[in-house]
Copies of this chain bind each other. A is one copy, B any other.
Amino acid sequence: MFEAAELGRSLSKSEFEKLEPEIHSKFLQLQQSLRKSDKSLIVIVSGVEGAGKGEIVDRLNRWFDTRDVQTHAYWDASDEENQRPWMWRFWRDMPARKTISIMFGSWYTRPLVEAAYKKISEAQLDQTLTEIQELERSLIENGTIIIKLWFHLSKEEQRSRLENEAKVKKFKKSPLLEDFSANYDRFAVVCEHALRHTDSGFAPWHIIEATNYRYRDIATGDAIIHQLSIALESEPETKANAEISSKAELTDAESAHLTVLDKVDVTQSLSDKDYGEKLTTMQARLHELAWQMYAQKRNAVIMFEGWDAAGKGSAIRRITSAIDARLYRVIPIAAPTDEEKDHHYLWRFWRHIPRAGRITIYDRSWYGRVLVERVEGFARENEWRRAYQEINNFEDQLLDHGIVLCKFWLHIGKDEQLRRFRERENDERKQHKITEEDWRNRENWDAYMLAVNDMVAHTSTSRAPWTLVAGNDKKFARIQILETVCSSISAALSQQN
């Protein structure tokens, strides 16, 4: 979930100085619209220690006209607060219509800390998260806009800030930073779990990379402007599509547009000899593992997404040729049938869930909702936004049943795609594989990059991670995929179901 916030996104000083005033004016305009509306606004500022949440709060107080803004910091609870139900302190601070509450810390803080320190069990955390979801839904249904910001730092970055802080500005040292840093991994697991379970369509999380403070602040402004504009629209349904691309307008600076895909080193390759050897080994291993899965009545779902011409088909063939034909099915996902269109969009995937001991391979998948349907505007913004949680819930069902789940995105460079398209056009036996639609999709490359990045940010979790495959060299890609499938299966087989 957090890998999309460890990309090294940054902005130069000059870029920042160009963008900051624009955001400031836009904030004041939106605040005017809020005053004319019947709604109130809560901005939740949370995230890892050391990410500069205090600076963000200062920034928001500069961008908004502070007459209607209250900032509430949730630190240790007072006697007054401890003597009442734990949500009482937040109810006290709920903004009135037309006004804004900035919450530094929030109803997430206490449960996260308590869960990380094992003062409450996982089940208790889940019960609290359900309470929180109900609270947020009730607030929203009664006219409050809730914008949830999560500021992220990598473990190394947090550690180095801790060291710097110790050296330089002792007067501002956070008493918690040291403690939190020592427990980074434990917090990461709990926070990912909590964010995932509360990342609803009606109150989504914005996960913002906080390493570069200029990028952090501009991305924050951008996220707030985006969500607030949509929420203040009188007809959100009709307007939603027009807004989809606004997030990409952050700046022209390339460093601000890094996505998880930019971190994939597509130049990795394998020699023919290495490939041949590894392919034989891995396929033999997979053959054996598939039979073990059958014997232990475990089922698996393997799922492929990726650019057109990235090599999904040939990668799938390297898997299927290793497995006994009685044990697997490949489900190619094209346009839905009439019957499928008449059902919930997940229905067509539920149909093909394998039974015990079998494997289903999906060639494209339920992620179409947040990829092609988003980019092409087939799904409205509220539809694809809530799909993240629907998909997470769906995958939870699979995992809870003990199904092994592998999710692959096959990545190739834009140039490599062009080369393959040309090759297909020039080869009679491959001409059927290239269509007008492929060229049209290619024109939306940047929009897809953004959609893939958001998809990974919202649905790649420690429980169900995405594997981003370096695909320029087909041999390298196939081996990476085979290795991932084999290691997922053997890890699952070595655990209790």
A residues lining the B interface (CB < 8 Å) = 40, 79-80, 83-88, 91-92, 94, 96-98, 121, 123-124, 126-127, 130-131, 134-135, 138-139, 141-144, 201, 297, 299, 339, 342-347, 350-351, 353-357, 386, 389-390, 393, 396-398, 400-401, 403
A350 closest partner in B (C-beta): B91
Among A94, A124, A126, A138: residue with most chain B CB under 10 A: A138
A127 closest partner in B (C-beta): B126
Per the bound structure, the CA–CA distance linking A80 and B130 in Å amounts to 32
* Given A80-B355, A85-B397, A134 contacting B92 (CB threshold 8 A): no
Judge whether B94 and A347 touch: CB under 8 Å. yes
Judge whether A91 and B347 touch: CB under 8 Å. yes
16 A-B interface contacts by CB (under 8 A): A83-B299, A85-B353, A85-B400, A85-B401, A88-B350, A91-B346, A92-B350, A94-B347, A96-B339, A121-B123, A123-B126, A131-B397, A134-B390, A135-B393, A138-B390, A141-B201
User: CB-CB < 8 A to A339: which residues of B?
Assistant: 96
Judge whether A344 and B94 touch: CB under 8 Å. yes
Per the bound structure, the CA–CA distance linking A124 and B122 in Å amounts to 11
Judge whether B344 and A144 touch: CB under 8 Å. yes
Cβ 8 A contact of A130, one of B126, B347, B386? B126
Per the bound structure, the CA–CA distance linking A96 and B351 in Å amounts to 14
User: CB-CB < 8 A to A143: which residues of B?
Assistant: 344
Per the bound structure, the CA–CA distance linking A343 and B40 in Å amounts to 9
Per the bound structure, the CA–CA distance linking A85 and B138 in Å amounts to 31
A341 closest partner in B (C-beta): B97
User: CB-CB < 8 A to A342: which residues of B?
Assistant: 40, 96-98
* Extra contacts besides A40-B342, A84-B353, A92-B350 (17): CB < 8 Å: A83-B297, A83-B355, A84-B355, A85-B353, A85-B400, A85-B403, A88-B350, A91-B347, A91-B351, A96-B339, A97-B342, A121-B123, A123-B123, A131-B397, A134-B390, A139-B344, A143-B344
Judge whether A86 and B401 touch: CB under 8 Å. yes
Q: Please tell me how many copies of the chain the complex holds.
A: 2
User: CB-CB < 8 A to A403: which residues of B?
Assistant: 85
User: CB-CB < 8 A to A87: which residues of B?
Assistant: 397
Per the bound structure, the CA–CA distance linking A398 and B398 in Å amounts to 36
Going nearest first, the 7 A-B pairs with the smallest beta carbon separation are A123-B123, A83-B356, A91-B350, A96-B342, A83-B355, A85-B401, A97-B342
User: CB-CB < 8 A to A396: which residues of B?
Assistant: 131
User: CB-CB < 8 A to A144: which residues of B?
Assistant: 344
User: CB-CB < 8 A to A398: which residues of B?
Assistant: 85
User: CB-CB < 8 A to A124: which residues of B?
Assistant: 123
Per the bound structure, the CA–CA distance linking A80 and B40 in Å amounts to 50
Per the bound structure, the CA–CA distance linking A355 and B80 in Å amounts to 6
User: CB-CB < 8 A to A134: which residues of B?
Assistant: 389-390, 393
User: Distance in Å from the Cβ of A487 to the closest Cβ of chain B?
Assistant: 23
Per the bound structure, the CA–CA distance linking A92 and B84 in Å amounts to 46
Per the bound structure, the CA–CA distance linking A355 and B142 in Å amounts to 27
User: CB-CB < 8 A to A347: which residues of B?
Assistant: 91, 94
Per the bound structure, the CA–CA distance linking A85 and B354 in Å amounts to 10
Cβ 8 A contact of A345, one of B83, B142, B351? B142
User: CB-CB < 8 A to A135: which residues of B?
Assistant: 393
User: CB-CB < 8 A to A127: which residues of B?
Assistant: 123, 126
User: Distance in Å from the Cβ of A101 to the closest Cβ of chain B?
Assistant: 11
